[in-house]
Amino acid sequence: MNDFRKKVIKDTSDKKKNNYALDIGKCIKVKDSLKTFQIIGINERKKICWIREWPLNFKSYKTFELATNKIILSTFCQLSEDNF
C-alpha cells in the first residue's frame, strides 16, 4: 500500500472518531459558548481554524483563531431574512 493511501485511510478514521468534518463555510458550535460560528480558514497541520460569529454582522465582525479540539458540532449555516 502506498503512503498516499495510508494517509487517506488515517484521515477518514480521524473524521469518524471526531464525528464531524471541518470545511470552510460550515458553521460550528464551540465548547463553553452558546453562539454559532462560521469557519473561514483551516490549518490542519497546526490543528487550528479561523472563525467568525454567525450570523454575520456586515457592519463589523471579528475573526479569530480557534483550536480544532474546541469544536463540538459542525453543521450548515442557517440563513434567515434577518441576515439580509
What local confidence, expressed as pLDDT, does residue 12 receive? 42
Q: What is the pLDDT of residues 4-23, one digit of tens each?
A: 333 333 344 444 445 567 89
Cα gap 68→33, rounded to integer Å = 14
Task: For 60-83, give the DSSP string.
Answer: ---EEEEEGGGEEEEEPPPP-GGG
User: What confidence tens digit (pLDDT) does each residue in 23-76 have?
Assistant: 999 999 999 999 999 999 999 999 999 999 999 887 788 899 999 999 999 888
* b/e sequence 37-48, b meaning 16+ C-beta within 10 Å: bbbeebeeeeeb
Which triple of cell numbers denotes residue 45?
Answer: 497541520
Residue 83's pLDDT band, with cuts at 50, 70 and 90, is: low
Write the CA distances from 23 to 4, 52, 75, 76, 82, integer angstroms.
21, 14, 10, 10, 24
Looking at domain 20-79, does it have CATH number 2.30.30? yes
pTM: 0.69
